[in-house]
Copies of this chain bind each other. A is one copy, B any other.
Amino acid sequence: MSHEIDLKNYEIRTDLVLESIENSQNKIATTTETFGKIKVTSVVIDEESSKLINKKIGSYITIEFEDVTDSENKNEVEEIFIKELKKLLNHLNIKDSSSVLIVGLGNEKSTPDSLGPKTIDNILVTRHLFLIDKISEGLREVSALNPGVMATTGIETSDLITSVVREVKPSFLIVVDALAASSIARINKSIQITDTGIHPGSGIGNMRKEISKENVGIPVIGIGVPTVVESSIIVYDTINYLFKHISYIKENQNKNKLIFNRTNYLEKIENKNLTDKEKRDILGLIGELSDRDQKNLINEVLNAVNYNFIVTPKEVDFQIDKLSSVLASGINRSLHDENCVK
């Protein structure tokens, strides 16, 4: 069928470098550590891999975890996040005395896009105390900004940030944003930290200019959580799980009357791969398509009927509450002496 239908090349939308790597066919080296139920994957994108996956050169850390509305999970994620953020600050040679401006991107009136502003609400701001010399040992000079979104300010967000950076002159920038994912598994269940800043098309708000060391002139740490996903990705993911599921069942159906056991089912099927012949049997012409063509076809169909919604889990309010609390508290504890932050 791929020779019959001319599929436009829809860009699979993801802000997570980890997903770009997964989505590409290319081998890019990543390092993974596991802490209980939390997985941390680090990757350095060099010039060569940058071309392969179209992501900026720099360091990317992805923390993957389970539901943070569970307070035990939440606390564990915060500790790992602090460890990784401090490691990156160190790697960038940022000193304890360096001042920082923290920016919360997104629209606080739109729950799935409110991660940035809600994080800023709980940032410990100190710059005004430095201005009047009323500052205690152990505190760094921190300022914070909620620039709003272009639809409500009429101002390109990156221009607004650049003009404030010129005024405030921080040593570095931290930018917090809600992201788009290319996998249902990571929605509200991962944090990406990077020293490459924030890029066009990134995030939900769809900024048009990047915020990075190149155009702001100081290091920019981007911190993001994917909070939304396109419907087409849900469909594509499901078709993939479908293949693995059927493959697993075929293998196991003679051994065991109980067709499948849900405990850790995902792990069990993760490595099941069907041959092209099997795929064609199961999903016909669709199964015959390459991954990329499958995605393009699904995108084409959903866009054609106007149903390629970008969606978020119905529990988004509770999840964003907890995630913004993890980020704000984690940033506060990473930037200041922990004893000063309580």
Contacts and interface: CB of A to CB of B under 8 A. Distances in A.
Interface of A: 1, 4-6, 71, 109-113, 120-121, 125-131, 141-146, 148, 150-156, 159-160, 162-164, 166-168, 184-185, 187, 204, 228, 231-232, 234-235, 237-239, 241-242, 245-246, 249, 253, 259-260, 262, 265-266, 269, 280-287, 297-298, 300-307, 309-318, 342
Give the 10 A-B CB pairs with smallest separation, nearest first: A127-B154, A284-B284, A143-B154, A163-B167, A311-B311, A125-B154, A266-B305, A235-B238, A283-B284, A163-B163
Contacts of A249: 5
Contacts of A307: 184-185, 237-238, 241
11 contacts: A125-B151, A125-B153, A128-B150, A130-B154, A144-B152, A145-B153, A145-B160, A155-B168, A159-B168, A231-B234, A234-B235
A187 B311 CA distance: 11
Contacts of A231: 184, 234, 238
Given A128-B151, A160-B167, A282-B284, 20 more contacts: A5-B249, A109-B121, A112-B314, A125-B153, A141-B154, A155-B167, A155-B168, A162-B167, A184-B307, A184-B309, A187-B309, A228-B314, A234-B235, A241-B304, A242-B301, A266-B304, A266-B306, A282-B286, A283-B286, A284-B284
Contact of A113 (B144, B269, B314): B314
Contacts of A162: 167
Number of copies: 4
Nearest to A159: B167
A279 to B, nearest CB: 8
Contacts of A4: 253
Contacts of A129: 154
Contacts of A152: 120-121, 125, 144
A206 to B, nearest CB: 12
A28 to B, nearest CB: 25
Contacts of A312: 311-314, 316
A314 to B, nearest CB: 5
A127 B306 CA distance: 28
Given A311-B313, A312-B311, A316-B312, A164 B154 contact: no
A159 B145 CA distance: 13
A314 B110 contact: yes
A298 B153 contact: no
Contacts of A245: 300-301, 304
Contacts of A304: 241, 245, 260, 262, 265-266
Nearest to A239: B235
B146 A146 contact: yes
A269 B302 CA distance: 12
A190 B311 CA distance: 18
Contact of A241 (B284, B301, B317): B301
